[in-house]
Structure 1
Amino acid sequence: MAGICCGVVEGETPTPIASSSLRRRCLDLFPLKCIADMAVPPMEGNNRKRQKLDSQPQPRECHNTVQNRESILTTPNKNEEQNKETKGHNQIVVVSEIPTLDSTELENEVVVEEYPKYGVTSVCGRRREMEDAVSVHPSFYSKDSNTQNQDQKSFHFFGVYDGHGCSHVATMCKERLHGIVKEEIEKTDENLDWKSTLEHSFDRMDKEVQGWTHTKHTCICKCNLHTPHSDAVGSTAVTAVLTPEKLVVANCGDSRAVLCRNGVAIPLSSDHKPDRPDELVRVEAAGGRVIYWDGARVLGVLAMSRAIGDNYLKPYVISEPEVTVTERCDEDECLILASDGLWDVVSNDTACGVVRTCLEAQRKTVSPPGSPRSLMTAEGSDKACSDASILLTKLALARHSSDNVSVVVVDLRRDKRQHHHQTTTKA
């Protein structure tokens, strides 16, 4: 008995049993191991699929897809980087698109190049799908005022696109419209007619969308499952080109641009609603009808009278923008571009008041005007504008906005002071 307890006598007899059971267990687990090994390689495909989803937003992106700041800053995408943060239950995504420059560019250009400060916020809100898109391109076009290259004029591009039916038209506008505008500017650089330039740009963008819908496309999009319905997809477009002397706004649809000047909200665009008197006359003159079905709608379908895309509603729905050219002055404070997810529940005056409060609150803590370094780190220089855009978005959600909400806030005072300093220095 003592031998048995100490494991000296008969203690070796259980060993074969344990070995056989262990072998049996290994044999049972072997097929599972093979299956697990076979499941590893497709992860690369999943990564590619995730990149495609990032380029073409899907319903899950509204809740699950939020990129990490560090990973984005270390992985530049062409000339832009997106900086996203998640706050609260509604997944508020702060996007700061920042130009990436190599060392030679930093030495030769950034020393003299200065950007306006801005902040961007875009949220899915209470919608199942994210169909908004935002485009920010500081210094998307530059030209020299003299041969010595001592005075370089830079144009800055900002755009908000509110898609409907699907997100691919808004995404195409985000990726292409600023480039088209740049090409049109280069065509007529000497005698620049802003109205004609932007009208041609929007027309080219609309034709590209039409060509895309009639060709085979491979991007992951719900329209792939319903190809005949791709003609029923469109997007609004409100863009602003900021120059040292002018603020040029082009609008097509019901997104809006508002300028805050000396505490007064000045709308720089007019919403293209089907029941707007002049738009109603135009639609009916083209042979269409405005039917009141949950509000005024073209043919009882679309709640706006102008948009990019929507091929099935042409010629009643057109892509021609309304263009306003505003001379900049010392009283300009900020510019707000936003989709109707904001403007449906927040007035122009309220929005300007919120932004002015945020800019004043952080006026003493921000970095020097137009600092490229602060922009590149996405810290400090545009914090006040980002806070303002976030606050406007939260206000829209608190007021039960039922749409996607996208907001761009541009601080015109800093850029204005910079321009004033340059002109006084030359004098």
Structure 2
Amino acid sequence: MGEKGTIFCGVFDGHGPLGHNFSQCIRDNLPSKLSEAIKMSQKNSITSGQNEKNMPFVSWNESFIKSFIEMDEELAMKVDTDGFSGGSTAVTVIKQGDQLIIGNLGDSRAVLCTRADDNQCVPVPLTIDLKPDIPSEALRIANCGGRVFSAKEDPGVKRIWMPEEDCPGLAMSRAFGDFCLKNCGLTSVPDVWDVLTNNEVITIVASAPKRSMAAKILVKHAVHAWRHKYPSSEIDDCAVICLFLNE
């Protein structure tokens, strides 16, 4: 975006016959699409009187979703017109000041390294592998008519299959491409979140575009934090009430 101190990192892992074409096209075009979406959100933030350098999470979320969907639409026209030629994962990180914003699509990973009190390195997972065996992902796929099951030759891996055909057997629940499955529950909408300290929770509330959205945004953060700390456990109930005492 031409801003000092702002860094974009992305890993795009292609699969299928045209996987290399998918990953290269995403590498060459997604950063600029995301940059334009962020600039537009920043412009809207300034117009509404918010701090340009501290864009609210809902704006980050909208920027990622907008650019990922546009990227997928471009891939459908330029890379794969028949829908059976593969696709690509995407794990992306933006560092802006003391913020980290992660956009995840598929099963590539981002990991943060921090240090414990004894100075030992501690890995902190920043993403969850978005696969069909996650209950919420499987439910979305089922609601769209797709099927989730393991192939006989690979019983340990659950895959997405078309409603009436045993193909293509995709082992992830979100991806660019794989257009034959896009009406069967596969989505190009990324899982987006940012990493904040506890003290920044009040900033989330203060930056919510509407008071009615503050609690929902906080719940989203709480759910992601639970997933990061306890990836093998079911998510506990998360409830938030934001009581505004002053006009």
TM-score normalised over the length of structure 2: 0.64
Offset, 1:142: 3.2
Q: Please, which runs of 5 or more residues in structure 1 have no aligned partner?
A: 1-140, 144-152, 216-227, 330-347, 349-427
Question: Which residue of 266, 288, 306 maps to 2:174?
Answer: 306
Equivalent residue, structure 2, for 1:142: 2
Following TM superposition, by how much is the alpha carbon of 1:186 offset from its aligned partner in structure 2, in angstroms? 1.1
Local SS of the residue matching 1:188: helix
Q: Secondary structure at the match of 1:142?
A: coil
Q: Return structure 1 stretches of 4+ with deviation > 4 angstroms.
A: none
Give RMSD over aligned pairs.
2.0
Partners of 1:142 and 1:154 within 8 A in 2:
no
Higher Rg: 1
Work out the percentage of aligned pairs sharing the same amino acid: 38
Q: Distance in 1 between matches of 2:80 and 2:108?
A: 27
1:231 is displaced (CA, Å) by 3.5
Maintained 8 Å contact 2:65/2:189? yes
CA distance in 2, matches of 1:231, 1:184: 29
* Alignment CA distance shift 1:173-1:161 (3 Å): same
Cα offsets for 1:305-331 (capped at 9, x unmatched):
1000111111221101001111379xx
- 8 Å CA contact 1:246–1:328 kept in 2: the answer is no
Whether the 8 Å contact between 1:245 and 1:328 is mirrored in structure 2 is no
> What is the rounded CA distance, in whole Å, between the counterparts of 2:14 and 2:138 in structure 1?
22
> What per-residue deviation string (whole Å, max 9, x for no partner) do you get for residues 315-369 of structure 1?
221101001111379xxxxxxxxxxxxxxxxxx9xxxxxxxxxxxxxxxxxxxxx
User: 1:298 corresponds to which letter in structure 2?
Assistant: I
Q: How far 1:214 sits from its partner (Å)?
A: 6.0
Q: Which residue of 1 aligns with 2:9?
A: 158
Deviations 1:19-77 (A, max 9, x none): xxxxxxxxxxxxxxxxxxxxxxxxxxxxxxxxxxxxxxxxxxxxxxxxxxxxxxxxxxx
Aligned-partner Cα distance in 2 for 1:208–1:248: 24
Write the mapping of 1:78-227 to structure 2, written as runs, cut at 5 A. Answer: 141-143=1-3, 153-165=4-16, 166=18, 167-190=20-43, 191=45, 192=55, 193-213=59-79
Match for residue 270 of structure 1 among 101, 120, 128: 128
Correspondence for 2:96: 243
Find the partner of 1:317 among 180, 186, 194: 186
3-state DSSP of counterpart to 1:232: coil
Report the Cα distance in structure 2 between the residues aligned to 1:275 and 1:231, rounded to whole angstroms.
22
Q: For 2:12, what is the secondary structure of its paired residue?
A: strand
**Matches of 1:240 and 1:328, distance apart in 2:** 17
SS of 2:5's partner is: strand
Q: Distance in 2 between matches of 1:289 and 1:168?
A: 27
The residue type equivalent to 2:91 in the other structure is V
